[in-house]
Amino acid sequence: MPHASSPSPGRNWAGNLVYGASRLERPRTIDEVAHIARTAGRVKVLGSRHSFNDIADTDGVAISLDTLEGDIEIDASERVAEVPGGIRYGELASALHEYGWALPNLASLPHISVAGAIATGTHGSGDRQGSLATAVRALEIVDSAGEARRISRGEPDFEGAVVSLGALGVTTRIALDIEPAYDIAQTVYDAPRWDAVLADLDAVTGAGDSVSVFTTWQREQTLDQIWVKTRGEVPRELAGARRADGPRHPIPGVDPAPATVQAGARGPWHERLPHFRLEFTPSAGDELQSEYLIDRSHAVDALQALRELREEIAPLVLVTELRTIAADDLWLSGAFGRSTLCVHFTWQRREDDVRALLPRIEAALAPFGSRAHWGKLFTADPSTLPTLYPRWQEFRSLRAAWDPRGAFRNAYLERIGL
Q: What is the pLDDT of residues 315-361, one digit of tens each?
A: 999 999 999 999 999 999 999 999 999 999 999 999 999 999 999 99
* pLDDT tens by residue, 273-296: 999 998 876 655 689 999 999 999
Which conformational region is residue 392 in: left (phi greater than 0), alpha (psi within -120 to 50 degrees), or beta? Answer: alpha
Q: Please report whether residue 271 resides in a domain.
A: yes
Binned at pLDDT 50, 70 and 90, residue 387 comes out as very high
pLDDT for position 38? 96
User: How would you class 226 by CB atoms within 10 Å of its CB: exposed for 0-12, middle for 13-18, buried for 19 or more?
Assistant: buried
pLDDT for position 283? 59
- pLDDT of 413 above 90: yes
Phi, psi for residue 400 in degrees, rounded to 5: -65, -35
pLDDT for position 47? 84
Tell me, what CATH number does 88's domain have?
A: 3.30.465.10
- pLDDT of 403 above 90: yes
Least-confidence region, from 7-11, 22-26, 403-407:
7-11
pLDDT for position 36? 96
For residues 140 and 265, state if they share a domain: no
pLDDT for position 110? 87
Q: What's the rounded mean pLDDT across residues 255-272? A: 94
- pLDDT of 2 above 60: no
For residues 218 and 297, state if they share a domain: yes
Which of 299, 341, 297, 343 is CA-nearest to residue 320? 343
* pLDDT tens by residue, 171-212: 999 999 999 999 999 999 999 999 999 999 999 999 999 999
For residues 84 and 195, state if they share a domain: no
Task: Give the percent of the chain with pLDDT over 90.
Answer: 89
For residues 176 and 314, state if they share a domain: no
Q: What residues make up the domain containing 27?
A: 4-64
Q: What's the rounded mean pLDDT across residues 39-48? A: 92
CA distance 126 to 97: 21
For residues 115 and 257, state if they share a domain: no
Q: What's the rounded mean pLDDT across residues 303-317? A: 98
pLDDT for position 234? 85
For residues 167 and 303, state if they share a domain: no
- pLDDT of 141 above 80: yes
- pLDDT of 407 above 60: yes
Instruction: Please say whether the beta carbons of 67 and 4 come within 8 A.
Output: yes
- Of 37, 64, 91, the residue at which a domain comes to its end is 64
Which of 33, 1, 45 is CA-nearest to residue 149? 33
Q: What's the rounded mean pLDDT across residues 230-239? A: 89
Which conformational region is residue 233 in: left (phi greater than 0), alpha (psi within -120 to 50 degrees), or beta? Answer: beta
Within a 10 A sphere around the Cβ of 240, how many other Cβ atoms? 15
CA distance 271 to 260: 6
**Can you give the pTM of this predicted structure?**
0.95
Domain count for the chain, please give it. Answer: 3
The CB-based long-range contact list for 392-398 (8 Å cut-off, 24+ gap) reads: 392/331, 392/332, 394/160, 394/331, 395/160, 395/331, 395/332, 398/157, 398/160, 398/161, 398/168
Average pLDDT, the chain: 94
pLDDT for position 3? 67
Task: Give the percent of the chain with pLDDT over 70.
Answer: 97
Tell me, what CATH number does 359's domain have?
A: 3.30.70.2520
For residues 160 and 220, state if they share a domain: no
Q: Please report whether residue 406 resides in a domain.
A: no
Q: Please report whether residue 391 resides in a domain.
A: no
For residues 80 and 110, state if they share a domain: yes
Q: Please report whether residue 387 resides in a domain.
A: no
Give exposure, 337-373, as e/b (b: 16+ Cβ within 10 Å).
bbbbbbbbbbbeeeeeebeebbeebbebbbebbbbbb
Residue 7 or residue 388, greater confidence: 388
CA distance 112 to 152: 23
Q: What's the rounded mean pLDDT across residues 40-53? A: 91
Q: Please report whether residue 417 resides in a domain.
A: no
For residues 319 and 363, state if they share a domain: yes
Q: What is the CA 352 to chain-centroid distance, rounded?
A: 24
- Of 181, 209, 229, the residue at which a domain comes to its end is 181
Residue 7 or residue 42, greater confidence: 42
- pLDDT of 157 above 70: yes
- pLDDT of 77 above 70: yes
Q: Please report whether residue 222 resides in a domain.
A: yes
For residues 58 and 114, state if they share a domain: no
- pLDDT of 1 above 60: no
Binned at pLDDT 50, 70 and 90, residue 5 comes out as low
- Of 64, 90, 115, the residue at which a domain comes to its end is 64
Which of 282, 295, 399 is CA-nearest to residue 340? 295
Tell me, what CATH number does 23's domain have?
A: 3.30.43.10
Binned at pLDDT 50, 70 and 90, residue 8 comes out as low
CA distance 349 to 130: 30
pLDDT for position 235? 82
For residues 169 and 193, state if they share a domain: no
- pLDDT of 109 above 90: no
Instruction: Please say whether the beta carbons of 141 and 166 come within 8 A.
Output: no
Q: Please report whether residue 392 resides in a domain.
A: no
For residues 331 and 196, state if they share a domain: yes
CA distance 390 to 149: 26
Q: Please report whether residue 100 resides in a domain.
A: yes
